[in-house]
Amino acid sequence: MSVEMITFLMLVSLITTVMLGFPIGFSLAGVATIFGFIFVGPQVSNVFMLRLHVAMADYILIAIPLFVFMGIIIERSGIATRLYDAMYVLLGSLKGGLAIATVLTCTIFAAATGVVGATVVTMGIMSLPAMLKYNYNKPMACGAICAGGALGILIPPSILILVYAPIANVSVGALLIGAFVPGIVLASLYVLYIGIRCFINPSLGPSIANTEIKVTLRQKLKMFTTSVLPVCLLILAVLGSIFFGLAAPTEAAAIGAFAAVIMAAFYRAVNWPVLKEAAVRTITTSAMVYMVVIGASFFTSVFMRLGCGRVVESLILGLPFDRWGILICMWLIIILMGAFLDWIGIVMIVVPLFTPVAVKLGFDPVWFALMNIVVLQTSFLTPPFALTIFYLKGIAPPEVTLGDIYKGVLPFLLLMLVAVVIFSLFPEIIMYAPRAAGLM
């Protein structure tokens, strides 16, 4: 059988098993095992054991359970509620203020947890009823929650970055530092969009009368210092320790986990049930991620050993476009896959194939990785397989339809594409921080 046919069958088999609902980790390992035994022989089991050892011994991957634990502690401590209450008071009197407060709260909460599902569900429960109460446009309210929640995979600490970096063989510290700026740029675009639309058409996001927010300036300052400032300091402690070279990403994750427990204790939200739930959820989430990493590593090893990587590389490089045309084709593939697969499946399939091609085309691997992570956000908003939409619909009031949510996310999808264009035209926007930190 030709290498081209093996490549086609392996990729089709993998995508088919994932689309049928099999766990991505088992799909990757299973396809690699079948094709490995057929075309390599029984010694392919040695490859699996080697990749298992490499994954379990990877120092960087230890940061995954630490960041997950940090996020769960923050989620269970009620910090998100305090954050939204503070933003509600500070911004509610502006046109579209509640939607802007939602995006900003999602941004801060996403930076503190790195978990999209937790951010969307928590913010949906808190902010959606408030916006509906004040007659906000339902699509805009839903879009703000979904788009803000999707920032969780971009703004550090991000589980996606921790998984992506070893596969692409780039510095995880460079990605963690570099992803912060595009996350802030995207959040700013969302805020500007909401503010401009509600200024032009105030009925989309009516302001709350000042008489309804009876809080003095002193009380506002107190809410800011006790609700917003501590979370910002936690984020700075994690990212700052990496930026200034005081700690490696794994050590920074440990600092963040410890600081999250201290913060929760400060809010009197630490008890045995909370710690037990955080530990159990951390174990299950981390085990899932590790299984995917091991399966992907095994699949990639077999795929490359059979020569399939060279086939994909030749196919992409043979496209009748210049290097930017090929790059756009790769991003379109990621966006299309995002409509049917979750981010972890996309990363495991395309990153080992696309990264060598991008390097051969002359693109910086760190810039290419950061751009891919920005593009991967679309997988959370692209129908039909859009996790943020499903999360929000699951907790939304009955009057909010699936059509309202789909309609609401479309403008934010376009803003994501606008951001991709901006970062392509001005790459220094996302490359400055990693270079300044000496991580490149």
Domain boundaries defined on the chain: 17-436
Q: Is the pLDDT of residue 372 over 90?
A: yes
Note the maximum CA span of the chain.
76
Report which of 408, 384, 392, 353 is spatially closest to residue 193, judged by C-alpha positions.
408
| DSSP reduced 3-state for 381 | coil
pLDDT in tens, 302-340: 888 888 878 888 888 888 888 999 999 999 988 888 877
pTM: 0.83
Q: Per-residue pLDDT for 218 more than 80?
A: no
pLDDT for 81-109, tens place per residue? 777 777 777 777 788 888 998 898 888 87
| Spatial CA neighbour of 229 closest among 258, 266, 195 | 266
Give the list of residues 6+ apart from residue 184 with CB closer than 8 angstroms, or none.
Answer: 107, 155
Give backbone dihedrals phi and psi of 246, rounded to 5 degrees, phi first.
Answer: -80, -25
pLDDT: which is higher, 413 or 228: 413
pLDDT by residue (tens digit) across 160-188? 888 888 888 888 888 988 888 999 999 99
Residue 414: predicted pLDDT:
93
263-275 burial code (b ≥16 CB/10 A, e <16): bbeeeebbeeebb
pLDDT at 211: 46
Q: CB neighbours (10 Å) of residue 92?
A: 20
Most confident of 45-49, 258-262, 419-423: 419-423
What's the CA gap between 418 and 426, in Å, rounded? Answer: 12
Once rounded to an integer, what is the mean pLDDT over residues 248-254?
A: 83
Rounded mean pLDDT, 251-277: 85
pLDDT digits (tens, 9 = 90+) for 146-159: 999 888 888 877 78
Is the distance from CB of 171 to CB of 128 less than 8 angstroms?
no
pLDDT band with cut points at 50, 70 and 90 for residue 299: confident
Task: Report, as an integer, the average pLDDT of 60-83.
Answer: 79
Across 401-411, average pLDDT: 89
What does each C-alpha distance from 109 to 44, 132, 286, 381 come to in angstroms? 44, 22, 20, 19
Which residues, including other chains, have CB under 8 Å from residue 440's CB and lie 6 or more apart? 171, 174, 366, 431, 434
Half-sphere exposure for 271 (CA within 13 Å, toward CB):
4
Question: Could you tell me the CA-to-CA distances from 269 to 76, 119, 191, 262 in Å, in that order?
Answer: 8, 19, 31, 10
Is 403 within 8 Å of 389 (Cβ atoms)? no
b (16+ CB within 10 A) / e for 216-253: eeeeeeebeeebbebbeebbebbbebbbeeebbbbbbb
Higher local confidence (pLDDT), 340 or 132: 132
* Average pLDDT value over all residues in the chain: 84
